[in-house]
Amino acid sequence: MKNATAEGTALITGASSGIGATYADRLAGRGYDLVLVARDATRMEALAQRLAADHGVKVDVLPADLTDRAQLDSVIARLESDASISLLVNNAGMSLHGGLLDNDTAAIDRILSLNITAPSLLARAAGNAFAARGAGAIVNIASVLALAPEMFDGVYSGTKAYLLNLSLSLANQLRDRGVHVQAVLPGATRTEIWERSGKDVDAFPDGFVMEVGDLVDAALVGFDRQEGVTIPPLADEALYLAYDAARVALHPHLSRSQVADRYLEPISA
């Protein structure tokens, strides 16, 4: 077993179950101490006791509702003050019952707070702290829906597209300062998010839903390879590379002083 302090400390949000709890288990096995963040203190305490016993690492539990600004600030303060933290896993997130037109303003505000505001402010705190030390990593759990908004509710997929954009921008800013940024894009994964948003994960076709352990193990392979974007269900990497190359190829054409010729022809009556 690795020395429990060799890797530093990983702060993981949404750590009480699913992807977050699985990251906690895998990172503890790699020798990371842990700070577990979620609302469910009871589940995190049980997880913390098991991981400490199994892996000999230090595990702190930091209960917080990241949609509450005061509680979010307490997690930000931990990132800013704890020099042992070397890895942030921005995993906490939620989906909606239905879509934009089916939900009230409180529900929309909550998903935007949890899926966008919280990971942004946590990434800011971690990015500044890691850059000052010249080392560290940020993992943002996005979704394949960032690339396929037509397949699902646009609010959820939009928040995940935001996380992908944030990750790509941060990676560009921080790569020369010793900080690695990875966006992980899961497909449908067997976690509690489905039940919480009123959906039946077993209604998907056979072969559509990935087990959470497989997802996290693949994401960590991508992390070890220093990938900027990891898509565990995508078998043909060339498809994403072609997509990304086409996106980057647009850059020099996106801002000009003149209107493009194709918009100078009026529509005939």
Residue 260 to residues 33, 195, 204, 251, 263, Cα–Cα distance (Å): 55, 48, 44, 15, 6
Beta carbons of 27 and 12 less than 8 angstroms apart: yes
**Tokens 């997509």 found at:** 243
Taking alpha carbons only, the member of 96, 201, 197, 105 closest to residue 155 is 96
Residue 82 to residues 34, 35, 62, 124, Cα–Cα distance (Å): 12, 10, 13, 15
Could you count the other beta carbons within 10 Å of the beta carbon of residue 43?
Answer: 16
Q: Calculate ∠ Cα 227-76-125, nearest 5°.
A: 45
Residue 247 to residues 119, 160, 163, 210, 244, Cα–Cα distance (Å): 24, 17, 17, 28, 5
Beta carbons of 87 and 8 less than 8 angstroms apart: yes
Beta carbons of 99 and 153 less than 8 angstroms apart: yes
Question: Active site residue: 23, 32, 156, 162, which one?
Answer: 156
To the query of whether residue 156 is one of the catalytic residues in this protein, the response is: yes
Catalytic residues: 156
